[in-house]
Amino acid sequence: MKTRIISAIVALAIVIPLFLLGGIPFSIGAGLIAALAYKEIIELKTSHKPYSMLIILLGFISLELIVFNRLQASYIYNGVSYGIIGLVLLLLLIPSIFDKKGNYTTKDALYLFGITTLIGLFFNLLILLEYANKWLLLYLILIAILTDTFAMIVGCLIGKHKLIPRVSPKKSVEGSIAGSVVATAIASIYYYNVITSNINIFVLIVTTLILSILGQLGDLLFSKIKRENEIKDFSNIMPGHGGILDRLDSMTLIIFGYIIIINIINMF
């Protein structure tokens, strides 16, 4: 417990100043954290064959190209450019053509493209949201933290029915429901009072609830990746907490879900 608390304090001492400073410091910090998340994925043993240093380097370059693409708030709902995605495809798929020994097959190349794009898009959106409105980003972070925290607390206290035991044995239906209810209530109140009150309450509550559910699905998705690779944590960079992806798993689908929902709302 002591190690877990110290680790959390150190992490907050790094993340909070970056969040408050915003802008370039936040972007650089996000790029570095993205690199650590990439390292965790690359080191998985079951999902893919070991990559050569050249392929790892090409994947890293591809990742950072996506992370730092179109960093203007006006592009927040337009996403990464087709040009960058096309360049990443070329960088990661073409080398598989010249593979003679089966060390870098098209399957390996497509896996690397997939995880590089996933991590890159997530951190790109993280930076864009911070540029546009850091308090909006905090709203999404609150959803993830509150959902995880209260799902764990209530699950430990009264959880009797397993949610998806083959993926995450400790998660319960009771905890899942409680986490989403509490997160939806508190995050919605925060949004209404801090960001804007000029919003339909019903839309706000439904949106927040959907994002909370997506957060739990993100957690389960990364738990499945760990189970498939027979590991407890992605790394030990945060003793007692695991790796970067262990901490950001919920946020991944929350951020993508938010962008999708806002685009749908803007259509009407």
* Closest to 248 (Cα-Cα) out of 112, 131, 137, 154: 137
- Give 189 or 239, the one with higher predicted confidence: 189
Q: Tokens in use for 12?
A: 């907050």
**Structure pTM?**
0.90
In angstroms, how far is the first alpha carbon of the chain from the final one?
A: 49
Average pLDDT rounded to a whole number, residues 58-84: 82
| Calpha distance 101→123 (Å, rounded) | 34
104 φψ region: left (φ > 0), alpha (ψ -120 to 50), beta (else):
beta
pLDDT in tens, 202-220: 999 999 999 999 999 999 9
Is the predicted pLDDT of residue 155 greater than 90, yes or no?
Answer: no
Is the predicted pLDDT of residue 74 greater than 60, yes or no?
Answer: no
Burial of 98 (0-12, 13-18, 19+ CB in 10 A): exposed
Residue boundaries of the structural domains of the chain: 1-132, 133-268
Q: Calculate helix-pair angle for 244-266, 106-132, nearest 10 degrees.
A: 70
Q: What share of the chain is helix, strand, coil (3-state, %, to 5)?
A: 75, 0, 25
Q: Which DSSP symbol is given to 133?
A: -
pLDDT of residue 11: 78
pLDDT in tens, 225-249: 888 888 888 888 877 677 888 888 8
pLDDT of residue 231: 84
- Give 7 or 91, the one with higher predicted confidence: 91
